[in-house]
Structure 1
Amino acid sequence: MILARLDIELPPETMIRDVSTAEPAATFRLLSGVRSGDTAVELGEVVADDPVAAGDRIADHDAVRDYEWLEVEADRALGKYETTDTALYEFVADADLPPEYPVVVRDGRYEFDFVGTRAEFEGFRAAIEDAGRDYELLSLADGTPSESPLSDAQRETLETAVREGYFEVPRACSLADVADATGVEKSTASRTLRRAVAQVTARFLADPRD
């Protein structure tokens, strides 16, 4: 079983590419999406210094309708909307893979976590190349039990988050607390923790017998 993370160029003239390049400092997360015919209903999160302004770019885009704010915080906003932009669904369908959520987008590119056999991975990579997309392979591991999917920094950040209570409900510490405890910037802690959780989740879901 292959566990991989790729950074992939978004297709031109797509809604999320337009929005994310207009707000290059923001992080857009597609948390879930359901396609029905020529449209899709999506649940999206924006993390930014001004999440409402970044979210308004989605709401005002020609490909989006019925945007509904679900939650707004100082640096985060959550919205639900319908879009006629179904390029992502078409791409993963062509690659014969289900979309893996969350899909994380920054400045015209998105991170994709892949879990599958080596043959499926090679087919997926070929589909990216056939589509003429620029991409970078961020990590690649064979999902055998003897290998750790985490870097030292990812392990330290994840262990700190667990120890300090970041994953408790309600949370016993903030992301800023995790960053302070590990001696890094908040944005670095966020990125490292997100990747650590994705790697552990992918390893848990992977079946090493494949």
Structure 2
Amino acid sequence: MIRAQFHVQLPEGTWVAEVSRSFPEATFRLLTGFRAGSTAIELGEVEADDPDAVSAAIDDHPSIVAYQRLERADETVVARYETTDIGLYEAVERSSVPPEYPITVRNGWIEYEFTGSREVLDRFRTAVEAAGLSYELRSVVGNENSSGLLTDRQREVLAAAVREGYFEVPRECTLADLAATLEADKSTVSEILRRGEGSIVKWFLTGTDGDTEF
């Protein structure tokens, strides 16, 4: 079993791509949704400094055929809406990978997480590539044949890197910051990160440990 997180760049023209790029600091969360023929019915949340402005932009988008605000808090709006943008559901149907809610969108990128076998992940990646979308594999965690994948030190350094925001885009800490947190030499931390990342990527692509050549 593998748990992975992809960031997928949304195609131009979809409401969430256009509105999220217009409000790059806002966070959009799809809480649940389902396809209803040529449209999709969704429940979504927006978190922003000015959620009313973001909510109005969603309501005004031509892909939104119905919009109902359900709740308004200090920096959030929850709404039920109907949209003609059904690309997410078509991709799910092609890959047979059910979505795991909530699904988060920021500045034109969707953060997609799911759990399944390597074959399931490969189907999802194939579907994304077939759609011509750019994507980033942000993390992958598995419990099959991976007990010896990382050394204790590699696991410690990678965990600290995730915790401190080293892998965020943009990064929330530099390599120097991370080395200071670990009380280690910068070049040593860089080497440990490189080897650990290499082991994880090779294991994900081949199903073998990081020493395998391919």
- TM bin (shorter chain): 0.5 to 0.7
Q: Which runs of 4+ in 1 moved over 6 A?
A: 145-148, 153-156
Deviation at 1:15, TM superposition (A): 1.3
Aligned to 1:178: none
Q: 2:69 is paired with a residue of what secondary structure?
A: strand
Instruction: State the secondary structure of the residue aligned to 1:57.
Output: helix
Alpha-carbon distance change, 117 to 54 in structure 1, aligned in 2, over 3 angstroms: same
Output aligned runs, 1:1-210, within 5 Å: 1-143=1-143, 151-152=159-160
**TM-score, with normalisation over the residues of structure 2?**
0.67
Rounded to whole Å, the distance in 2 between the matches of 1:78 and 1:65 is 17
Q: Deviations over 1:113-143 (max 9, x none)?
A: 0211011111211221222211111101113
Higher relative contact order (CA 8 A, sep 6+): 1
Deviation at 1:151, TM superposition (A): 3.4
Q: Which amino acid aligns with 2:82?
A: E
Q: 2:208 aligns to what?
A: none
Contact 2:24 2:107 in 1 (8 A): yes
Structure 2 CA distance for aligned equivalents of residues 137 and 153 of structure 1: 16
Deviations 1:36-56 (A, max 9, x none): 101111100001000111111
CA contact (8 A) 2:99 2:113 kept: no
Shift of 1:10: 0.6
Instruction: Give the whole-Å Cα distance in 1 for the aligned partners of 2:162 and 2:134.
Output: 26
2:139 partner amino acid: S
- Alpha-carbon distance in 2 for matches of 1:80, 1:131: 27
What does the per-residue CA deviation read over 1:143-185, in whole Å, with 9 as the maximum and x for residues that have no partner? 359799x9358789xxxxxxxxxxxxxxxxxxxxxxxxxxxxx
| Secondary structure, aligned partner of 1:151 | helix
Aligned to 2:110, the other structure's residue is in SS state strand
Q: Is the Cα–Cα contact under 8 Å of residues 3 and 143 in structure 1 kept in the other structure?
A: no
Provide the TM-score with structure 1 as the length reference.
0.68
User: Can you give the 5+ residue segments of structure 2 that lack an aligned partner in the other structure?
Assistant: 150-154, 165-214
CA distance change for structure 1 residues 153 and 79 in 2, over 3 Å: closer, same or farther? farther
2:8 partner SS: strand
State the identity %: 46
Q: CA deviation at 1:64?
A: 0.9
Q: CA RMSD in A?
A: 2.2
Residue 7 of structure 2 contacts residue 110 of structure 2 at CA under 8 Å; is this kept in 1? Answer: yes
Structure 1 residues 24-33 or 11-20, which shifts more?
11-20
SS at match of 1:70: strand
Structure 1: gaps of 5 or more residues:
157-210
Distance 1:153 1:52, change over 3 A: farther
